[in-house]
Amino acid sequence: MTGSTVSPQPAAPTTRRPSTLISRVLPLQLYAGRAHVVLERSLLVSRRVWWIVLSGFFEPVFFLFAMGKGLGALVGDVGGVSYAAYIAPALLATSAMNGALYDSVHNVFFELRYEKLYDAMLATSLGPMDVALGKIAWSLLRGGLYSIAFVSVMAAMRLLSSWWALLAVPAALLIALGFGAVGMAVASFLTTFQQLDWVDTAILPMFLFSTTFYPLDVYPRGVQIVVECLPLYQGIELMRGLCLGPVSPSLPWHALYFLIMAVIGLVVASRRLGTLLLK
């Protein structure tokens, strides 16, 4: 009618998401600021299969006793330290890697492709970045638990010769973070159980040839360059520098290597989850 006025309708309430650095960089549909929920779920599930989580600690300990004490009696000293002290930091880095990769590759693959867990998560207020951060945080926690236990074994065996070894556990967490993020990104590209063998095929030679059991100078220069590019080699050099000393200027570069791994893996994993599940 003429002269009538229409009162404005109140705007529909909107859910405000927490303002964080991640939310300012990424689209809101990727991150809801609730990654801790995914981590809490992983913790609750692990309570039912705690023996599986615990079993990952024993592998590097068995290697340490078999190779360090058994073979070490024949090898003698390497680089001015006992053979057991030489391989122990390498096994510590390997322990952090294995703990992170098992969860971020095998478990994520099953939950993504068969259990359809992430479809259910993304039907809630969670975003792909929340899922990626939560799963990587659990991989980080698992790798860190293995590292703390193994450092305790090293200390009991008197295999630590530098006070910088106090930073070994934080360094192991950084290694676990890098491998966990990249592992989850890789898992998002796998489509069959048979493809998981590709990951194991890559891990085994990296474990054997990344100076785990012998120095880098046993290789010709061309092979040395390839080995120096491997992520496990970077972790082993970081650990040896901290546990055995002396601390060299190259250690921050080894740490930066894993920070770059973590950022790339996190971004790729979250975007892959968004592509696969937010169709």
Asked whether 97 and 171 are in contact (CB, 8 A), the reply is no
pTM comes to: 0.79
Q: Point out the residues of the chain with pLDDT beneath 50.
A: 1-7, 10-28
CB 135 within 8 A of CB 160: no
Query: Nearest CA to 33 among 16, 46, 54?
Result: 16
Distance of CA 200 to the CA centre of its chain: 15
Q: Which two tokens stand for residue 96?
A: 């952090």
What's the confidence (pLDDT) of residue 23? 45
d(CA 122, CA 120): 6
- Per-residue DSSP letter, 81: E
- Cα separation, 115 vs 111, in Å, equals 5
Q: What is the pLDDT of residue 118?
A: 75
CB 173 within 8 A of CB 258: no
pLDDT of 259 reads: 94
The three-state secondary structure class of 205 is helix
Is 272 within 8 Å of 193 (Cβ atoms)? Answer: no
Instruction: For the chain, give every domain's residue range.
Output: 52-277
Number of H helices, E strands in the chain: 14, 2
**pLDDT at position 28:** 46
- Write down the pLDDT at residue 227: 94
The per-residue pLDDT for 221 is 92
What does the angle CA 143 – CA 135 – CA 148 come to, to the nearest 5 degrees? 15
Question: What is the C-alpha to C-alpha distance for residues 249 and 258, in angstroms, rounded to an integer?
Answer: 16
Per the CB < 8 A criterion, the answer to whether 139 and 180 are in contact is: yes
